[in-house]
Amino acid sequence: MENCIFCKIINKEIPGKVVYEDDICLAFLDLSQATYGHTLVIPKKHYDNILTVDDETLAHLFKIVKKLSKQIMEKLGADGLNVLTNTNEVAGQTVHHFHIHILPRYNKNELKINFIDHSQDVDLDELLNKIK
């Protein structure tokens, strides 16, 4: 897609530090390095986000995410990792080419994903009825 920064990396119009590549996907180092070894896995075909990517591609991407997660943890000596995909601006998506973040973890304080307990304000049965 025109003007998409990740399509430009796939087409080698701009450089990327490529960790892994096959016919369907590309994995490369995230510029920000939110944690050491922060890597993005993306489909070579442009999809906006997880809601629009086709199922076969998604399944393949997650297989590669698992493989690279193990490889990165082992090579960098990480103790854990977060796997994350942001969908739409409200959730922090800034690049609208579907991508999965692999964030290796070395300590509890280097990255804040703050889950606040709102259980007091939620009726779980009412919620379940809405979702199902």
- Contact positions vs ligand 5GP (CB under 6 A): 5, 16, 28-32, 86, 92-95
Interatomic CA distance for residues 54 and 46, integer angstroms? 11
Q: Which of 19, 41, 72, 97 binds Zn ion (CB under 5 A)?
A: 97
- The one of Zn ion, ligand 5GP, none whose footprint includes residue 73, by CB under 5 to 8 A per kind, is none
Interaction between residue 99 and Zn ion (CB under 5 A): no
Interatomic CA distance for residues 58 and 39, integer angstroms? 17
Q: How far is the CB of 3 from Zn ion (least distance, A)?
A: 9
Catalytic residue status for 99: yes
- The one of ligand 5GP, Zn ion, none whose footprint includes residue 4, by CB under 5 to 8 A per kind, is Zn ion
- The one of ligand 5GP, Zn ion, none whose footprint includes residue 7, by CB under 5 to 8 A per kind, is Zn ion
The number of beta carbons lying within 10 Å of the beta carbon of residue 85 is 17
- Lookup result for tokens 């994995």: 27
- Lookup result for tokens 């991407």: 61
Interatomic CA distance for residues 20 and 8, integer angstroms? 17
For 37-48, b/e burial (b = at least 16 CB within 10 A) is bbbbbbbeebbe
Question: Which residues are part of the catalytic machinery?
Answer: 99
Binding site for Zn ion (CB under 5 A): 1, 4, 6-7, 46, 97
